[in-house]
Amino acid sequence: MKTLIKGIHHITAIAGNPQANVDFYSGVLGLRLVKKTINFDAPDVYHFYFGDEFGAPGTVFTTFPFAGARKGTKGTGELTYTAFSIPKTSLEYWIERLKKYDVTVSDKLTRFGKELIRFEDHDGMGIELVANDEDDRKGWTYGQIPLAHSIRGFYGATLYLTDKEGTADLLTKHMDYHFIAEENGRFRYGTEGKPGDIVDILVNPDASRGQQSAGTVHHLAFRTENTDTQLQIQQLLWDNGYQTTEVKDRNYFKSIYFRSPGGVLFEIATDEPGFAIDEEEAHLGELIKLPEWAEPSRKKIEAGLIPVTLNPASYV
């Protein structure tokens, strides 16, 4: 059967200081800064995209960094942990590496038979590294991390909800997801059940709602092949009572947004055209790229942004 949704496209979080954000995701975690642009809905704020070499869908963690933003709080109605996939034998490497940069790392946890570690970035953003041997993506490195240990892309995401029914229905009835397994109140869904498409719903009816600010996720984007399949999903969602936005042009993909029943903002983003449309692949992320409509205001926009430097080599 032809599916319209192929897993996770990107995850977008709110962050604090932009330099600290680049240092952590490119320096410590070793993701490639594939695009340095602005928030199209708030052009005075950066939008950073971190991913693999070309920012393939399923690898891209993106941030809106607000210098001086207060920290948000984790709670229900949020995506609380973003899980990245690492090779099965790389867990010890990452524990050592994170400790070297003063990151407080959890003990090794086991979930659905796989070992993982959990930690937070300087803003309190929840991250997990899941060790597995099911990921055939090759990873990427600036050189400071051996390629053999590099992050492969997303493993999955945890949605923390007071009630799973509405979101589970949406995923399984209209978004090509199926239920995989349950463990300790954690309900796992996937399109194929492979790294990059896993969505877990963790239920706690009594927990308080999260507060969105620095260190919390803004939205979860799912991938679809192209604008045709995107319009098909939009129609399907409308037919089933979900209100979506119109299609928005995000330059590197096209997007629709809608609020999932559990409270998390969902997006459906196209795999096309990708991050090489306005920069050569060898130089992704080096310059501030703006959408055409913002170019006339470039001077003013750049003057309002804190300059950031990309310096992964100092995170050996």
Q: How far is the CB of 57 from Zn ion (least distance, A)?
A: 11
Q: How far is the CB of 250 from Zn ion (least distance, A)?
A: 7
Q: Would you say 79 or 202 has its CB closer to Zn ion?
A: 79
18 to each of 48, 73, 99, 112, 244, how far by Cα in Å? Answer: 9, 19, 22, 35, 30
Give backbone dihedrals phi and psi of 312, rounded to 5 degrees, phi first.
Answer: -65, -25
Q: How far is the CB of 259 from Zn ion (least distance, A)?
A: 14
Q: How far is the CB of 64 from Zn ion (least distance, A)?
A: 10
| Strand order, beta sheet including 109-111 | 109-111, 114-120, 126-132, 78-87, 153-161, 198-203, 186-190, 178-183
Beta strands in the chain (DSSP E): 8-15, 32-39, 42-51, 60-65, 78-87, 109-111, 114-120, 126-132, 153-161, 178-183, 186-190, 198-203, 216-224, 248-249, 253-259, 265-273
Q: Would you say 193 or 291 has its CB closer to Zn ion?
A: 291
Which region among 19-27, 126-134, 174-182, 213-221 touches Zn ion (by CB under 5 A)? Answer: 213-221
Q: How far is the CB of 121 from Zn ion (least distance, A)?
A: 19
Question: Would you give the binding string for Zn ion spanning residues 242-271, x where CB under 5 A is met?
Answer: -------------------------x----
- How many CA atoms lie within 13 Å of 1's alpha carbon, on the beta-carbon side? 8
Question: Would you give the binding string for Zn ion spanning residues 218-247, x where CB under 5 A is met?
Answer: ---x--------------------------
**What is the footprint of Zn ion within residues 35-94 (CB under 5 A)?**
none
| By the rule CB under 5 A, 12 interacts with Zn ion | yes
Please give the residue ranges that form the binding site for Zn ion (CB under 5 A).
12, 221, 267
